[in-house]
Structures are given as C-alpha cells and as structure tokens.
Amino acid sequence: MVWIRIILFAFFSFNVFSDELSSEELIYFNFLDLNDDKYISIDEIDKSTAIIFQLIDKNSDKKLSYDELNELKKIIKLLR
C-alpha cells in the first residue's frame, strides 16, 4: 500500500509551486476527496488506497503482482 501512496503523492508533488491544479491533478484530487469537502484527509487517502488496492488485487491475496501493477498503469492511463 505504501507504493500506491507514493504514486498518489507523486501526482501532486510535481506542481507544488503552481498556482492551480492541472486538469489531470484535479481529477486525482476529486477521486481522493471522498466526502467532496475540497480537502483530502489522511483517512480519505487510506480509504482511496484500500479501494485501489482491492481493485488491482484480482486474486485477493493481499499482494500485488507485476501483472496487477500493470493493471494500475492502465487505470492511471484511463483517468488521464
């Protein structure tokens, strides 16, 4: 799960000094903002990470394989 959190963090860290979020970053922000309050809490990150992990872990073994990580890449491409 740490790996997925790093990915999510990386999406927002590239534009740290920008005044506005890009349209792609806004999509990710809205995905993480589960209660739509325009803030992302650590609980929302944990829940979003768990949801993503469950979606990717197709065989429910609580581990991500190389193939399952490739599915994550596909999901990220779809969000763009």
Q: Which domain holds residue 67?
A: 2-79
Rounded-to-integer distance, Cα 60 and Cα 51, Å: 12
Question: What pLDDT score was predicted for residue 18?
Answer: 55
Give me the number of domains the chain comprises: 1
As a whole number of Å, the CA-based R_g of the chain is 13
Which pLDDT tens digit goes with each residue over 22-80? 887 888 888 889 999 999 898 998 898 888 888 888 899 999 899 888 877 887 777 66
With 0-12 / 13-18 / 19 or more C-beta atoms within 10 angstroms meaning exposed / middle / buried, residue 19 is exposed
The confidence band for 14, taking pLDDT boundaries of 50, 70 and 90, is low
Question: What pLDDT score was predicted for residue 43?
Answer: 92
